[in-house]
Chain A
Amino acid sequence: MFRSTSLRLAGLYTTVFALAVVALGAITLFSTRHALSEQFDARIRAESAALVQEYRSEGLKGVVDAVHERDHTPGSLDFGLQGPSGEPLAGRLATTRAAMGWSLLRRGGQAREEPVRLFAVALPDGYKLLVGDDEERIEALDGTVLRGFGMAFIGVVILGVAGGYALSGDVHRRLAAITGTAEAIIDGDLARRVPVRGSDDDLDRLALTFNRMLDRIAALMESLRQVSNDIAHDLRTPLTRLRQKLEAGLAAPPERGPALEGALADLDSILDTFAALLRIAQIEGGARRAAFRPCDLASVARTVTEAFAPSAEEMHRALSLAAETGVIVDGDAELLTQMLVNLVENALRHAGPNTRIAVEVARRGRAATLLVTDNGPGVPEAERERLFDRFYRLERSRSTPGSGLGLALVAAVARLHGAEVELLDARPGLQARVTFPEAA
């Protein structure tokens, strides 16, 4: 679930949205702050201008009265009037020291300091007027804005995570249905289809397209099967008759015997090739996967090496087996046996006399491997991969019997089991290595 694309997208989307809320909060905070301080400054400037005017018209007495009066009005600004040598004359800021013009002052000295925005202006005759305003109101506003946006931020995150989880859960389930179907098909259940909701959204359309593709594959597989069956029936029937006639002919005039025997052998080799092709086609159809069972590779290897031991000895090849016990793979025992038979026969046929052929079954980590190694002449690297192609044969092997389908069948069986088959240089000789997927 946490590795799902939809959940990652929802997470990313929530993060971006939350960041946008933070940015919006910051911009709002700074612009309200800016507007407010401008407004405050304008008020300070207006008040000081009024008092300067008062001094000009009414003299010092008028200003002192005006300051006193304002001091007693609630919500008014703070004022201070100082004499030419700095002596305090009137107002709450009378003792405050400040340079001319704007400044920021920390006032209090007790438990909490209050920042004060201060404007000092010179009156004629050396008097000095200070006008100040509490910054606290601006800070209180900051708090309100921050709280508001904080709530909005938390809300966005909760909604984003919850919504993303719900949404991605749904998408995840639908994607999981597609994955499940694909896996069932790989396992050979060609009849499976992805469930469609009928909502005609993009995932539904994907499911429909996927199902159409599966229909097409199923139709192709069916026609392949049909063709195989037709070939099997329509070609094998006349071949059966031909074989019977040759057999019957063999019984009659003795002087024709060798020719008929030769014809019969040729026919049987055609039929062998034909059977091998049909078998490869059938294996590649993948239907066998439904019949997979746990198979003991060591026991398969033992049966095969034991079956081939006397023949190998007769051909002057030393066939040996080294098998770890308990190497189990999920597969089709009959096909695995045939695969190993083909690998061993390939080695017997091409390694040459007085060679060693070693069959090994081993576990590497959790993966099972099957090795068939000979110390014969080997195969040039460029040609090794091509040996798995149907009907591909090395130049030097063209005169020896064999259909050129043995290794193609090995490749088909390996593919069916999800195993990897490689031909390697055994220095000298050839090593066939089949690596099975790790057991679940």
Chain B
Amino acid sequence: MKLLIVEDDREAASYLKRALSEAGHAVDYAAAGRDGLLLAAGEPYDVIILDRMLPEIDGLAILRTIRASGVKTPVLLLTALGGIDDRVEGLEAGGDDYLVKPFAFAELLARVNALARRPPTQELRTELAVADLKLNLLKRTVTRGGRRIELQPREFQLLEYLLRHAGRVVTRTMLLESVWDFHFDPKTNIVETHMSRLRGKVDRGHGCELIHTVRGAGYILREPD
């Protein structure tokens, strides 16, 4: 993927740039808001990583400007401000996701991958499927190998999220935010316990596992090799 980082802290930016490149992405970098604005408006990127607090032009101002000029590239906002209002403000300005500094690189990588646009056909689908696992969005049913699996509503949401991001890592925080709407970090392993129940229902008794734990990052649901 082709990414743009707009971040005034050169040291942090160069680390990100290196790490993202190692993860196989092509990365452009702008240290000042003005350069970032020019690059964002002129080049086709898959995802823009934008720091909120920049000298000269504020990150949110850049975001509003590029949105106003019709650029629809997904934007991940990075911020040192962790307030609730700050998040809401960021999303209202046209941000697609929001990450509070400091963060684990795995978290950033997972969110960047999740933000990248998928083929548009996916929007119209009523069924999500990976291998022999099928989830029907209209009937709210799940089957594996033709056998019906009974899920609690929250487990259904969890599986739906994993299927929508099939083949990509989803982190614990991403699940907390999108499945439970928890925008804070509980000290209890609620994601882990729900996930283990879901895996028990989806994977137990089947030859190959579809849901995998990615150490230090999160979970991934993918086609068996």
Chain A residues close to B by CB (< 8 Å): 229, 232-233, 236-237, 239-245, 247-248, 271-272, 275, 278-279, 282, 287-288, 291, 303, 306-308, 310-311, 313-314, 332, 334-335, 337-338, 341, 345, 348-349, 401-402, 406
Contact = CB atoms under 8 A, between A and B. Distances in A.
B188 A308 contact: yes
Contacts of B188: 308, 311, 345, 348
B187 A247 contact: no
A303 B180 contact: yes
Contact of A341 (B19, B104, B184, B197): B184
B194 to A, nearest CB: 6
B12 A240 contact: yes
Interface string B85-114: 100000000000000111111000000000
Contacts of B184: 279, 334, 338, 341
Contacts of B189: 311
A310 B190 contact: yes
B84 interface: yes
Interface in B180-216: 180-190, 192-194, 196-197
Interface stretch (B42-50, B75-83, B136-144, B159-167): B75-83
Nearest to B193: A310
Is the contact region of chain A dominated by helix, strand, or loop, or is it mixed?
helix
A310 B11 contact: no
Nearest to A285: B83
Contact of B12 (A244, A291, A337, A401): A244
B154 interface: yes
B53 interface: yes
Nearest to A229: B81
Given A275-B82, A278-B82, A279-B83, A244 B190 contact: no
B9 interface: yes
Identify the 6 closest CB pairs spanning chains A and B, nearest first. A310-B193, A240-B102, A236-B80, A243-B102, A244-B15, A311-B193
B146 to A, nearest CB: 27
Interface residues of B, number: 37
A278 to B, nearest CB: 6
Given A244-B105, A275-B100, A334-B183, A237 B193 contact: no
Nearest to B195: A310
Given A232-B80, A282-B83, A401-B187, A241 B197 contact: no
B83 A307 contact: no
A232 B105 contact: no
Contacts of B82: 232, 275, 278-279
Contacts of B81: 229, 232-233
Nearest to A248: B15
A30 B183 CA distance: 86
Given A240-B102, A332-B84, 17 more contacts: A233-B81, A239-B102, A240-B12, A240-B80, A243-B103, A245-B15, A247-B105, A248-B19, A278-B83, A306-B154, A311-B190, A334-B84, A334-B183, A337-B181, A338-B184, A341-B184, A406-B187
30 contacts: A232-B80, A236-B101, A237-B9, A237-B12, A239-B101, A240-B80, A240-B103, A241-B9, A244-B12, A244-B16, A244-B105, A248-B15, A279-B83, A282-B85, A287-B85, A288-B84, A306-B152, A307-B194, A308-B188, A310-B190, A310-B196, A314-B193, A332-B84, A334-B84, A334-B184, A335-B84, A337-B182, A341-B184, A341-B186, A406-B187
Nearest to A406: B187
A101 to B, nearest CB: 100
Nearest to B185: A272
A288 B100 contact: no
Contacts of B11: 241
Contacts of B186: 307, 341, 345
Contact of A307 (B53, B101, B102, B154): B154
Interface in B1-33: 9, 11-12, 15-16, 19
B80 A307 contact: no
A229 B81 CA distance: 7
A349 B195 CA distance: 21
Most chain A CB within 10 A, of B103, B182, B189, is at B182
Contacts of B83: 278-279, 282
A422 B142 CA distance: 45
B144 to A, nearest CB: 21
A232 B104 CA distance: 17
Contacts of A401: 187
B15 A307 contact: no
Given A278-B82, A282-B84, A307-B180, A236 B102 contact: yes
Contacts of B154: 306-307
A271 B107 CA distance: 16
A338 B185 CA distance: 9
Nearest to B155: A310
Contacts of B85: 282, 287-288, 291
A224 to B, nearest CB: 13
Contacts of A338: 182, 184
A310 to B, nearest CB: 4
Nearest to A247: B105
Contacts of B196: 310
Nearest to B53: A233
Contacts of A247: 104-105
